[in-house]
């Protein structure tokens, strides 16, 4: 492994660890309504929002009312974004004169951005007007991330309250998360990206002549502002089709590192928010450690696999001194590209700075496996924390079975209702992925969109539904997703993968909030020790392995074995 390829992940993890306490502590103060340094600027806007909604900030909701508000807001967002896409040809802010987006594609895109997936079956610079990009897609980048943050905080409230009927107010949590956390961070990052050369204007495409004398369109647009929240909100939707591989979105290694840091900063920092809300520093660092171990293991695997090069090329006797450079930008190289792949699929982001379709079979296995673990390493904004806490609940239950007593978690008895809901939250994604992959693999409308055959073609289909059901959004790039079949089944996968686990998590929060806290006894299994971190990581890996090993064995695993014999698909 090259030295820079080792140093950059370590530097990134150190930067994330340094940012976690202050950013997580600040987020905790915001979500509990405490005063912050942004009070003079953001508080008047917050009051204006509440006045417009006719909302009393002190009024809290039961988990059912919280869920109804969340679903109503998301449904209205889907309808509004769908209408904006269909009407963009009649609206201003369209310098290139793009017409209405096709109905099935518009529905898929609306569902995609509202669910924080940002799966894109279109060419951004050739499909969406500037108004649609700014007022539609970028807005959903903010509020969809805010929804995830709100659900995570609601779950933690359920853990910390006793005999309570409420878990907070969805509208207040959403407003505070967007105004005080996501918007200021995005403003700072957008300025930094503009300083690094990321485009930010309102121009349409201009035709220029290349050095070779050929005319080429030069697209403009408000890129930096969308790029910032795309990474910070773990969204992933690129202004351009090439996403973060495009030099206008990600010009050089410095902006690449900034975007990597933005990807990981908020999901990891929420472990420190958890610390402040539950009042136990060791609890939060245990979660941080579990997330970091999973992320580091996956990162090391994909970097090593890509540095080793393609076994087919090596079999032909060709020296791959720099590793597998196919599908990667020379300005980033193998290490930074593989690191980005691990970061974007470990979070629910979906941004890419290289083509995952061009990775080796072993290298392509890692982004797929990252998502199949449930995106808890470290997961998306809010969704990473609440998904990992669901696994904590399951790990506590397993530990209780081992010692033969009712499991406890932060003083709350974990009983049958919580375990059933945790099982539902965990199993929704595998059910959606495996069922839809199986259907697509046997129907002509599914297989005809593949670029490759055999196990590689199965991986393309599996990756697509894994990305959509996990609300990730990255594409393997070998599947033609803009078909009625994939637009509609993809919409179903994104809706189920987002909202069914959220409903289960909110139900868990409501049940825990109503419980009385019991003092820890000699049989209480501590959830802040290295032993528990190992158990938690083991539960995440075992659940993922038991669920998905058969389909992975038919896809990337068998492909890697056959590549050693010189066989391609």
What is the tens place of the pLDDT at every residue in 453-472? 888 888 889 999 999 999 99
Nearest alpha-carbon partner for 306 in 367, 251, 240: 367
276 pLDDT more than 90 = yes
Give the Cα-Cα-Cα angle 82, 83, 87 (nearest 5 degrees).
120
Give residue 153's pLDDT band: very low, low, confident or very high (50, 70, 90).
very high
CB 308 within 8 Å of CB 1:
no
Q: Tokens 């390829």 — which residue? A: 5
176 pLDDT more than 90 = yes
Overall average pLDDT of the 91-97 stretch: 91
pLDDT of residue 231: 95
Contacts of 75 (CB under 8 A, 6+ apart): none
522 pLDDT more than 90 = no
For residues 125 and 40, which has the higher predicted lDDT (pLDDT)?
40
Rounded CA separation 234/351 (Å) = 8
For residues 406 and 539, which has the higher predicted lDDT (pLDDT)?
539
116 pLDDT more than 70 = yes
pLDDT of residue 423: 93
159: left (phi over 0), alpha (psi -120 to 50) or beta: alpha
pLDDT of residue 319: 63
pLDDT of residue 477: 73
What is the tens place of the pLDDT at every residue in 298-322? 999 999 888 887 777 766 666 667 7
pLDDT of residue 219: 82
CB 556 within 8 Å of CB 459:
yes
Rounded CA separation 379/497 (Å) = 14
| Encoded tokens for 354 | 């290289």
pLDDT of residue 245: 92
pTM of the model: 0.94
Give residue 384's pLDDT band: very low, low, confident or very high (50, 70, 90).
very high
Overall average pLDDT of the 2-26 stretch: 89
Overall average pLDDT of the 11-18 stretch: 95
pLDDT of residue 137: 93
Residue 309 phi, psi dihedral angles, 5° rounding:
85, 175
Q: Is 343 helix (H, G, I), strand (E, B) or coil?
A: helix
| Encoded tokens for 97 | 């004169």
Rounded CA separation 177/143 (Å) = 9
Q: Tokens 């990981």 — which residue? A: 264
pLDDT of residue 568: 66
Overall average pLDDT of the 384-405 stretch: 89
CB 331 within 8 Å of CB 242:
no
pLDDT of residue 556: 85
Nearest alpha-carbon partner for 286 in 537, 13, 18, 14: 537
pLDDT of residue 317: 63
Rounded CA separation 355/271 (Å) = 31
Overall average pLDDT of the 407-416 stretch: 88
Rounded CA separation 318/311 (Å) = 10
Overall average pLDDT of the 381-390 stretch: 95
Query: What residues form DSSP beta bridges with 328?
Result: 354
pLDDT of residue 86: 96
Q: Tokens 């673990």 — which residue? A: 373
Please state, rounded to an integer, the average pLDDT across all residues of the chain.
90
For residue 319, count other CB atoms closer than 10 A to its CB.
8
Overall average pLDDT of the 27-33 stretch: 95
Contacts of 229 (CB under 8 A, 6+ apart): 138, 141, 142, 145, 182, 186, 235
Share of the chain above pLDDT 70, in %: 96
Rounded CA separation 560/568 (Å) = 10
Question: For the ranges 268-277, 449-458, 483-492, 537-546, which has the lowest average pLDDT?
Answer: 449-458
> Over the Cα atoms of the chain, what is R_g?
23
pLDDT of residue 457: 86
Rounded CA separation 501/499 (Å) = 6
Give residue 445's pLDDT band: very low, low, confident or very high (50, 70, 90).
very high
What is the tens place of the pLDDT at every residue in 133-151? 999 999 999 999 999 999 9
254 pLDDT more than 90 = yes
Rounded CA separation 509/417 (Å) = 11
242 pLDDT more than 80 = yes
pLDDT of residue 211: 77
Give residue 291's pLDDT band: very low, low, confident or very high (50, 70, 90).
very high
Give residue 452's pLDDT band: very low, low, confident or very high (50, 70, 90).
confident
Let me know if 52 is exposed, middle or buried by CB neighbors in 10 A (0-12, 13-18, 19+).
exposed
Rounded CA separation 370/318 (Å) = 31
pLDDT of residue 113: 95
pLDDT of residue 566: 66
pLDDT of residue 13: 94
Report the relative pairing of strands 206-209 and 412-413 from DSSP bridges: unpaired
Rounded CA separation 357/247 (Å) = 20
Rounded CA separation 377/323 (Å) = 26
Rounded CA separation 165/487 (Å) = 40
Share of the chain above pLDDT 90, in %: 66
Q: Is 222 helix (H, G, I), strand (E, B) or coil?
A: strand
| Encoded tokens for 64 | 């059912």
Question: For the ranges 211-225, 500-514, 524-538, which has the lowest average pLDDT?
Answer: 211-225
Q: Which of 55-59, 452-456, 532-536 has the highest mean pLDDT?
A: 532-536
């Amino acid at each position: 492994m090259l030295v820079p390829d080792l140093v950059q992940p370590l530097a990134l993890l150190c930067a994330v660890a340094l940012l976690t306490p202050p950013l997580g502590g600040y987020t905790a103060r915001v979500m509990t309504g405490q005063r912050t340094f942004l009070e003079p600027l953001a508080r008047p806007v917050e009051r204006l929002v509440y006045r417009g909604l006719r909302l009393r900030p002190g009024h809290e909701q039961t988990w059912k009312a919280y869920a109804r508000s969340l679903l109503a807001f998301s449904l209205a967002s889907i309808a509004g974004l769908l209408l904006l896409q269909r009407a963009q040809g009649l609206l201003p802010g369209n310098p290139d004169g793009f017409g209405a987006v096709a109905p099935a594609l518009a529905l898929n895109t609306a569902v995609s951005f509202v669910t924080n997936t940002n799966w894109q079956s279109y060419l951004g610079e050739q499909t969406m007007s500037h108004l649609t990009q700014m007022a539609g897609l970028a807005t959903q980048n903010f509020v969809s991330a805010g929804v995830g943050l709100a659900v995570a905080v609601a779950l933690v409230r359920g853990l910390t309250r006793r005999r309570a009927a409420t878990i907070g107010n969805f509208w207040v949590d959403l407003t505070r998360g967007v105004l005080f956390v996501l918007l200021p961070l995005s403003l700072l990052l957008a300025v930094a990206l503009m300083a690094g050369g990321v485009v930010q204007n309102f121009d349409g495409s201009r035709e220029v002549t290349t050095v070779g004398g050929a005319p080429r369109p030069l697209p403009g647009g408000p890129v930096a502002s969308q790029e910032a929240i795309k990474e910070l909100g773990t969204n992933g939707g690129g202004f351009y089709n090439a996403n973060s591989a495009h030099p206008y979105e990600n010009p050089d290694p410095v902006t690449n590192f900034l975007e990597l840091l933005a990807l990981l900063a908020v999901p990891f920092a929420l472990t420190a928010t958890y610390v402040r809300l539950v009042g136990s520093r060791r609890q939060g660092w245990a979660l941080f450690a579990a997330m970091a171990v999973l992320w580091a293991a996956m990162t090391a695997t994909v970097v090593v696999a890509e540095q080793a090069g393609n076994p087919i090329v090596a079999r032909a006797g060709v020296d791959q001194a720099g590793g597998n450079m196919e599908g990667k930008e020379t300005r980033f190289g193998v290490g930074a590209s593989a690191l980005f792949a691990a970061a974007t699929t470990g979070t629910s982001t979906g941004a890419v700075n290289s083509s995952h379709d061009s990775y080796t079979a072993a290298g392509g296995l890692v982004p797929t496996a990252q998502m199949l673990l449930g995106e808890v390493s470290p997961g998306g904004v809010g969704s990473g924390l609440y998904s990992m806490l669901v696994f904590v609940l399951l790990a506590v239950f397993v530990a209780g079975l081992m010692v033969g007593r009712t499991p406890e978690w932060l003083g709350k008895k974990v009983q049958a209702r919580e375990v059933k809901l945790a099982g539902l939250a965990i199993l929704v994604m595998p059910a959606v992925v495996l069922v839809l992959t199986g259907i697509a693999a046997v129907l002509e409308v599914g297989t005809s969109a593949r670029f490759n055959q055999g196990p590689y073609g199965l991986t393309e289909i599996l990756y697509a539904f894994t990305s959509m059901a996990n609300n990730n959004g990255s594409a393997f790039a070998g599947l033609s997703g803009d078909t009625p079949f994939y637009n509609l089944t993809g919409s179903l996968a994104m809706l189920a993968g987002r909202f069914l686990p959220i409903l289960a998590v909110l139900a868990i929060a409501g049940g825990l909030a109503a419980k009385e806290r019991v003092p820890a006894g000699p049989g209480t299994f501590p959830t802040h020790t290295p032993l528990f971190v190992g158990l938690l990581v083991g539960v995440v890996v075992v659940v993922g392995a038991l669920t998905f090993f058969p389909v992975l064995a038919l896809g990337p695993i068998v492909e890697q074995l056959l590549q050693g014999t010189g066989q391609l698909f």
